[in-house]
Amino acid sequence: MHRKYFEEDHEAYRETVREFLSREIEPHYERWEADRLIDRSAWLAAGKSGIVGIAVPEEFGGSGVTDYRFRHVVAEEIARTATTSLGAGLSLQDDIVLPYFVNLGTVEQKQRWLPGMATGELIGAIAMTEPGAGSDLQGIRTSAVRDGDEWVINGQKTFITSGIHADVVIVVCRTDADAGSRGYSLIVVERGTPGFSRGRKLHKVGLAAQDTAELVFEDVRVPAGNLLGTEGRGFIHLMENLPTERLSIAVHAIAAARAAYTWTKDYAFERRAFGRPIGDLQNTRFELAEMLTEIEVTESHIDRCVLALNAGELTAVDASKAKWWASELQKRVVDRCVQLHGGYGYMMEYPIGRAYVDSRIQTIYGGTTEIMKEIIGRDIAAEFA
């Protein structure tokens, strides 16, 4: 089925992404997975190739490209090469962290941080989750107290993507204990700030090379000018950016499902059993037919969501629908593809094995499937309130 979604510029960019992955990433990826850390040289190479930070405005050293289809191309090529740990870091940087700086930063903040994000020299993270606060962000306890022209931050964060490499961390802090949901703010903490330390590099089920860490803040003093956005509007700022984050996960999910299907289709007509390719067995054909249909239907919907995001029309509810559906589809498709590979599907030398362990987090981070359904359900119930 032909997709009238990508244009010539996107396909030209795809060639750039493919060449970058082939030259800079694939030769080193297995070593990074074994080391459980992607080398920072990959980020610098991504900056030189225009793979990271393309939405940074031109006046701050970027390309100023806001068409999300270019990010979609990167997601598809990452999925095709099974270099998902890199993809997780890039999507955090470009789809989650960068919009906060672009949309909320002062001119001085943009001048300080955006050029480095465009070159890959500066890696960002956002610290929301805490040991006692995951999907329920109102359980956040990390505090920031104003002391003259500084903020003093105390608390702990966990499951922080790019937590080891991060040079700038947007920390979600409670700045007014009595203001409820209006008592939270976003404050930027930079590498090397006294009192800011990394805890464990966490050992995950999948995404081995993607560094995920605990962060500790002990009387960390940062300038008042490190407040990002408006004091007390931290939750509102988070809600404003969640549609992009959740669509990013959905895009990666459908790209991964398509890649898994493609590997499995090819395998099914190469692998022989009972004297013929397993693709000639009726059960295999039915499985392939069902997966292809589900993937194409979902691709059409995700494409529409991306165009809505480009137009500034994607709602939090629609992003939640896309996120839970595509991530659950990914998990289901990858599992079926492992089954069709048989014993080889359980071997990490095959990309489907890596895709299997990497896929499990998709229905959890960025808001669990259950939270997505609750958001959608509340929207439905609001019609009758």
For 63, 185, 267, the CA distances from 81, given in Å and listed in that order, are 25, 38, 16
So which residues are the catalytic ones?
245
**Angle 282-310/234-268 helices, nearest 10 degrees?**
150
What letter would DSSP give residue 224?
G
124, β-bridge pairs: 168
Non-local (6+) Cβ contacts of 109 within 8 A are: 101, 188, 225, 228
For 51, 216, 311, the CA distances from 91, given in Å and listed in that order, are 11, 24, 20
User: Alpha-carbon Rg of the chain, whole angstroms?
Assistant: 21
Element (H, E) at 219: strand 212-223
Contact (CB, 8 A) for 123 and 131? no
Q: What is the pLDDT of residue 4?
A: 87
Encode the chain (385 residues) as per-residue pLDDT tens digits.
Answer: 567 899 999 999 999 999 999 999 999 999 999 999 999 999 999 999 999 999 999 999 999 999 999 999 999 999 999 999 999 999 999 999 999 999 999 999 999 999 999 999 999 999 999 988 766 677 899 999 999 999 999 999 999 999 999 999 999 999 998 888 899 999 999 999 999 999 999 999 999 999 999 999 999 999 999 999 999 999 999 999 989 999 999 999 999 999 999 999 999 999 888 889 989 999 999 999 999 999 999 999 999 999 999 999 999 999 999 999 999 999 999 999 999 999 999 999 999 999 999 999 999 999 999 999 999 999 999 999 8
Q: What is the pLDDT of residue 1?
A: 55
Predicted TM-score (pTM) of this structure: 0.95
- E strand segments, 78-211: 124-127, 143-147, 150-161, 168-174, 184-190, 196-201
**Alpha helices, DSSP H, located in the chain:** 8-20, 29-35, 40-49, 69-81, 84-91, 98-104, 107-119, 234-268, 282-310, 316-341, 351-359, 369-382
> 74: burial class by Cβ within 10 Å (0-12, 13-18, 19+)?
buried
Non-local (6+) Cβ contacts of 293 within 8 A are: none
Q: What is the pLDDT of residue 251?
A: 98
- CA 319/CA 383 separation, integer angstroms: 19
Non-local (6+) Cβ contacts of 361 within 8 A are: 204, 205, 206, 207
Element (H, E) at 273: strand 272-273
Contact (CB, 8 A) for 154 and 219? yes
SS3 36: coil
Q: What is the pLDDT of residue 107?
A: 97
DSSP annotation string for 110-127: HHHHHHHHHHTSS-EEEE
Tokens found for residue 309: 């995001």
> Within 10 Å of residue 72's Cβ, how many Cβ atoms?
23
Q: What is the pLDDT of residue 385?
A: 81
Domains of the chain in sequence order: 8-122 (1.10.540.10), 125-232 (2.40.110.10), 235-382 (1.20.140.10)
Element (H, E) at 218: strand 212-223
- CA 282/CA 286 separation, integer angstroms: 6
Please give the backbone phi and psi of residue 82, each rounded to the nearest 5 degrees, phi first. Answer: 55, 35
Please give the backbone phi and psi of residue 127, each rounded to the nearest 5 degrees, phi first. Answer: -105, 95
Please give the backbone phi and psi of residue 176, each rounded to the nearest 5 degrees, phi first. Answer: -150, 105
SS3 256: helix
